[in-house]
Amino acid sequence: MLKPVQYDTQADSLRITEIFHSLQGESRTVGLPTVFIRLTGCPLRCNYCDSEYAFSGGQDMGVDEVLEQVARYAPRYVCVTGGEPLAQKGCLNLLGRLIDAGYEVSLETSGALDVSQVDPRVVKVMDLKTPSSTECEKNLWHNLEFLNSTDQVKFVIASRSDYIWSRDIVSKHQLGNRCEVLFSPVYGELKPADLAQWILEDGLNVRFQLQLHKLLWGEEPGR
């Protein structure tokens, strides 16, 4: 089990890997210009991770400084990502400040850390870990209780067995009645057409998605 994070809604210091402006590559706002704030650090080590460069390094920044950089792009959408953003005690403060500044904010989280204290105005995009990630046992299933209709659960699928597991989890927890469900193939491992066909054959009420940023720019960091 992962050690619970003791959140501080007033914490001002954050370790930031990068802040950049790009098109949202996945989730409900795919294709829309978005400012990404990538926090440093993650307690998980998923086999298919595409942001290992965010595990360490970065620079210390205050929330005011982060908001100042974000404002330069005059965005509507802001995505807080990682790493695992909730591994930092100051993440909740950052999320609240962004919302209060008038942005539409999403949080990309693994679902392995408690989301109960996340501002309900923030869209949670929760990545439930499939068996091939090797981190499946880290999923905190009670997190599902804190999802609402504006949130999204994402399954990153690398194989047929991953798909069957994901399909069964969606059914067991009636996720389609809680929030939007996303199925995404692991880039370069599972043929997108195969996943699309399985979804259609089983008549699943889920959204198939590709990672738009990888189609445009490959695996270039910061895009």
Kindly give, in sequence order, each residue whose CB lies less than 8 Å from that of residue 114, ignoring residues fewer than 6 positions away: 4, 5, 86, 140, 143
Highest-confidence range of 9-18, 27-36, 162-171, by mean pLDDT?
162-171
pLDDT tens column, 153-195:
999 999 999 999 999 999 999 999 999 999 999 988 999 999 9
For the segment 71-95, the average pLDDT, to the nearest whole number, is 96
**pLDDT confidence of 8, banded at 50, 70, 90?**
low
The answer to whether residues 53 and 98 touch, using CB atoms and an 8 Å cutoff, is no
Does 222 map to a domain?
A: no
| Residue 64: burial class (beta carbons within 10 Å; 0-12, 13-18, 19+) | exposed
**Alpha-carbon distances of 181 from 109, 143, 166, 205, rounded to whole Å:** 15, 15, 10, 8
3 CB burial (10 A radius; 0-12, 13-18, 19+): exposed
Q: What is the per-residue pLDDT for 144?
A: 96
In a domain, 223, yes or no: no
The answer to whether residue 8 sits within a structural domain is no
* Residue 76 in tokens: 């509507």
Count other Cβ atoms within 10 Å, centred on residue 13: 13
Q: Report the amino acid identity of residue 166.
A: S
Residue 2 lies in a domain: no
* Residue 188, pLDDT score: 87
Q: What does the pLDDT look like over 104-160, one tens digit per residue?
A: 999 999 989 999 999 999 999 999 999 999 999 999 999 999 999 999 999 999 999
Q: Is the peptide bond before 62 cis (omega within 30 degrees of 0)?
A: no
φ/ψ of residue 143, rounded to 5: -60, -30
Does residue 158 sit within a domain? yes
CATH (domain of 201): 3.20.20.70
Enclosing domain of residue 160? 13-217
Structural domain count of the chain = 1
> Residue-wise over 180-216: b if at least 16 C-beta within 10 A, else e?
bbbbbbbbeebeeeebeebbeeeebebbebbbebbee
Given pLDDT bands bounded at 50, 70 and 90, which one contains residue 50?
Answer: confident
The answer as to whether 210 is a domain residue is: yes
- What CA–CA distances, in Å, run from 2 to 32, 39, 126, 135, 138? 34, 18, 17, 11, 7
